[in-house]
Amino acid sequence: MESLSNRKKVVSNKEMTFMERIYLPAILSGMWITFKHLFRKNNTTKYPEEVREFAPVYRGQHVLKRDEKGRENCTACGLCAVACPAEAITMVAAERNKGEENLYREEKYAETYEINMLRCIFCGLCEEACPKEAIFLTDRIVPSNFERGEFIYGKDRLVESMTDRIDITKRQHTGKRTEK
């Protein structure tokens, strides 16, 4: 009868030879394969002591950027949250008060901005959607943790510090408008 997938294999039922019955050649051949690996280059990376080189397109933990004057770029427009296929981003917008011009670049800012790193699939669509060059994915790894709550990253862990700025020039799209 015709098979549906055509992948059917008829298994041979032939008698095993003496050499096959003692299994020794098969065992020796297996040991030879294992032995050969002793002299090959070790492919194991002993993370975290050793960190392998990342591809330039690697997408890791997000950063919320500040401008050159230290003001937060994010205006809480919500486009990143709308673009996020994992619904990992939540935010609460607030209006900038008088005297806060040095903190926030525009009249509206994100009072709360959270990313659930357990939901995030690091697709980079939030970065693509952002019209203010406010959010970028970096080469930083989200550290492991035993508590699920620790994976909700708020502004305290997302907004870059002025003393430890994160270079995202490689990720900036040429020709993309940068708001001043």
Binding site for ligand SF4 (CB under 6 A): 74-80, 83-84, 86, 88-89, 110, 115, 120-126, 129-130, 132, 134-135
Structural contact between residues 70 and 133, judged by C-beta atoms closer than 8 angstroms? no
**C-alpha dist (Å) from residue 38 to 42, 46, 51, 60, 94:** 9, 17, 23, 34, 61
Nearer to ligand SF4, 86 or 94 (CB): 86
Nearer to ligand SF4, 123 or 168 (CB): 123
Helix ranges, the chain (H): 18-22, 24-37, 79-83, 125-129, 155-158
Q: How far is the CB of 115 from ligand SF4 (least distance, A)?
A: 5
Q: How far is the CB of 17 from ligand SF4 (least distance, A)?
A: 58
Nearer to ligand SF4, 134 or 160 (CB): 134
Nearer to ligand SF4, 26 or 92 (CB): 92
Q: Distance between CA 126 and CA 5 in Å, rounded?
A: 43
Q: How far is the CB of 64 from ligand SF4 (least distance, A)?
A: 7
Q: What are the tokens at 40?
A: 């090959």
Q: Which element (helix H / strand E) includes 115?
A: strand 108-116
Q: How far is the CB of 28 from ligand SF4 (least distance, A)?
A: 51
